[in-house]
Structure 1
Amino acid sequence: MTLASLRLTHPIIQAPMAGVSTPAMAAAVSEAGGLGSIGVGAVDTARAREMIDAVRALTSRPFNVNLFVHAPARPQPEVERRWIDALTPVFASHGATPPTALREIYRSFAQNDAMLEMLIAARPAVVSFHFGLPGTTAITALKAAGCLLLASATNLDEALAAKAAGVDAVVAQGIEAGGHRGMFDPDAPDAELGVLPLTRLLVAQASLPVIAAGGIMDGRGIRAALDLGAVAAQLGTAFIACPESSADDTYRAALFSPAAHQTLLTRAISGRPARCLTNRFTQWGLETGLLIPDYPIAYDAGKALNQAAKTAGEGGYGAQWAGQGAPLARVLSAADLMKQLVAEMQEAGA
């Protein structure tokens, strides 16, 4: 199976960005001729199936189901205790107390047989992987079920590993991209390649179809990615302000504030490098100087803090993921944004 076999009208993929993508958004993008996406890495198998069914109730066109394939977290009791202690005054300033212990709140797809069985039964047109690759058994089973497989790569080695594993196409995630870096090993040196050199490198040397991702916000950006040899472009931040997005009001307001001009990578929120809008949590993370618990153990504290702060009327502790193109965001429905992107591609010579 290939991307061409999906018969997309437009080479536009909506990224499955956590806190943004919804079944309604995915369906709208697919209905408009692109490839909509939902992320199920942060939900259980039953909820994932509900989300797939919700998309299918709105469109008969192909869509993508994205999974987290991270290495299991390493429990580090002392690191986690110091992290909780450091956050205690922040919780207290919002009239709350932190968790007494931190949990691994997300189960990696690499260890989730129930999720695999559900996907084999559901047979979504596209399944994509972030943070790594599942084992041979899962890849073989998903391909046998007729799923096109995508995987994020932040460097050539990751792309070559995806090819060797049998993945059909690779998402070249540049350093500009919002949300979590897809790097397989978050503790390995990061070459921090931008989407332009990474896309060209993978097109030239990975021998796989390449989807460009990172900082792309309009049709001219998509056209540039295609000119570099990509078969499609993946956009996430561009869809945050759509009414179909699950971003809350504080997130949306921050997207159109000076914070959009100052995105940064931080581990403080979740335990893995992720690009987001600057806010009170990212500032605290810059100042703490502590070792951070593994992903997603650290995220247990981050989510609890965000909820406590929101209850007290403070929205500056959320995971407000956004890429470097955030200042170019527009308030349009997903369908209207797709129309605009296509028109801009056409004006740029697509």
Structure 2
Amino acid sequence: MSFTERFDLALPLIQAPMAGVSTPRMAAAVCEAGGLGSIAVGATDAAGARAMIEDVRGRTARAFNVNLFAHGTARADPVREAAWLEWLAPRFAEFGAEPPAQLRTIYKSFADDPDMLALLIELAPPVVSFHFGLPPAEALAALRARGIYLMATATSLAEARAIEAAGIDAVVAQGIEAGGHRGVFDPNAPDDALGSFALTRLLVREAGLPVIAAGGIMDGAGIAAARNLGAVAAQLGTAFIACPESAADDGYRAALTGPAAYHTVLTPLISGRPARALPNRFTALAAPYGGRTPPDYPIAYDAGKALHAAARARGEHRFGAHWAGQGAPLARNMPAAELVQTLRREFEGCGG
């Protein structure tokens, strides 16, 4: 049975899970239109995840994806964190605010969250996917025993082989063009920064799993190209940010339709992990940060969120985490269901 047949998809499309942007309403709309909708629960706790999963199920009976973060446990380093806050202090002062007295680990890795595992075992969403790595084998076995289809992100052949060895069902090939956080297992290791199509073709030929292409794909022609390379589906994230069902705020939406969309950048400054975003005042801090190392993810993100909140309270939106891929200028403002229908027409027009 093919991937599209398994999930009864009218279009080989996954709406990418984007923490802080994806919503149950968006996921359900994508599902109802014939794609595979996603929610991202990595930045919430088990109670928050329950509410989101139940919200999706209240809107659609179709299959959907629940995405989790499987990053390594954050290591607190008070000296490094204090230095980071000291460096950011003048930016807080610009908005009449003080930086946090100390930084927190604002959410757990799935690997460290037994409550989240218990919730997923209880609710058994149709698809569960992982970003930043893999959870322990016993967690995967428990999810598999509930009949859950498992996916994980890879940015390299080595990561894809680890995913295959873990018994995951499909691999998401995330190219360097992708918006949001790089899914690298080890952010301190060398990154070959493979593009989406080169990585997709490499994994199709050399990995033993169904491959989902991700990164920079914004229209039906891109989905058709991914399929021609051997991918079973394409995952699109930035394409859905402008949809009214997304949780992107007005500042984010305005930036996405402005000149910044043509010049996305990778930065670790906002969260502590490399992520592709629209350039703004936060990403521009890269030059003067003087070789300081951001605190571990997601500890650094505590500072980033606090600075964004302080700036936004004074009407300045250019310190937000405006994640977006290199295809950002191709984003379209239309309801999610209409976008899926448009993508399907484009895909079919390309022979898909």
Q: Structure 2 length normalisation: TM-score? A: 0.98
Q: For each residue in 1:261-299, what CA deviation from the matched residue of structure 2 results, as whole angstroms up to 9, or x when unmatched?
A: 110000000000000000000001332121111100100
One-letter amino acid matched to 2:85: I
Q: Report matched runs for 1:169-208 at 5 Å.
A: 169-208=170-209
Q: What CA deviation, in whole Å up to 9, does each residue of 1:195-253 have, x standing for no partner?
A: 01100000000010000000000000000000000000000000000000000000000
Secondary structure, aligned partner of 2:53? helix
Is 1:159 matched up with 2:154?
no
Distance, in Å, in 2 between the alignment partners of 1:7 and 1:191 is 35
| 1:345 maps onto 2:347 in alignment | yes
- Work out the CA distance in 1 between the residues paired with 2:115 and 2:294: 30
The code of the aligned residue for 1:317 comes to: F
Write the deviation string for residues 15-74 of structure 1: whole angstroms up to 9, x where unpaired: 001222100000000001110000000001001000000000000000000000000111
- Which residue of structure 2 lines up, in the alignment, with residue 297 of structure 1? 299
Question: What do the CA deviations read for 1:141-176 (whole angstroms, capped 9, x no partner)?
Answer: 101111100000000010000010010000000000
> Distance in 1 between the 2:176 and 2:60 partners?
32
Residue identity matched to 1:177: A
Alignment of 1:111-190 (within 5 A): 111-190=112-191
Aligned counterpart in structure 2 of residue 318 of structure 1, from 310, 317, 320: 320
Match of 1:308 in 2: 310
Tell whether the 8 Å contact from 1:2 to 1:168 is kept in structure 2 after alignment: no
Match in the other structure for 1:23: 24
Where does residue 327 of structure 1 map in the other structure? Answer: 329
Do the aligned residues in 2 keep the contact of 1:212 with 1:225 (CA within 8 Å)? yes
Alpha-carbon distance between aligned partners in 1 of 2:195 and 2:63, rounded to the nearest angstrom: 29
CA deviation string 1:178-207 (max 9, x = no partner): 000000000000000000110000000001
Cα distance in structure 1, aligned partners of 2:98 and 2:286 = 18
Q: TM-score, normalised by structure 1?
A: 0.99
Identical-pair percentage: 64
Match of 2:229 in 1: 228
Question: Quick check: 1:267–1:292 contact (8 Å CA) kept in 2?
Answer: yes
What CA distance in whole angstroms lies between the structure 2 residues aligned with 1:5 and 1:335?
Answer: 21
User: What's the counterpart of residue 69 of structure 2?
Assistant: 68
- Show structure 1 runs of 4+ deviating over 6 A: none
Preserved contact between residue 263 and residue 324 of structure 1 (Cα < 8 Å): yes
User: What is the alpha-carbon root mean square deviation over aligned residues?
Assistant: 0.9
* Whole-angstrom CA distance in 2 between matches of 1:285 and 1:128: 31
- Tell me the secondary structure at the aligned position of residue 95 of structure 2: coil
Hey, what does 1:209 align to over in structure 2? 210
Q: 2:206 & 2:229 partners in 1: Cα distance?
A: 13
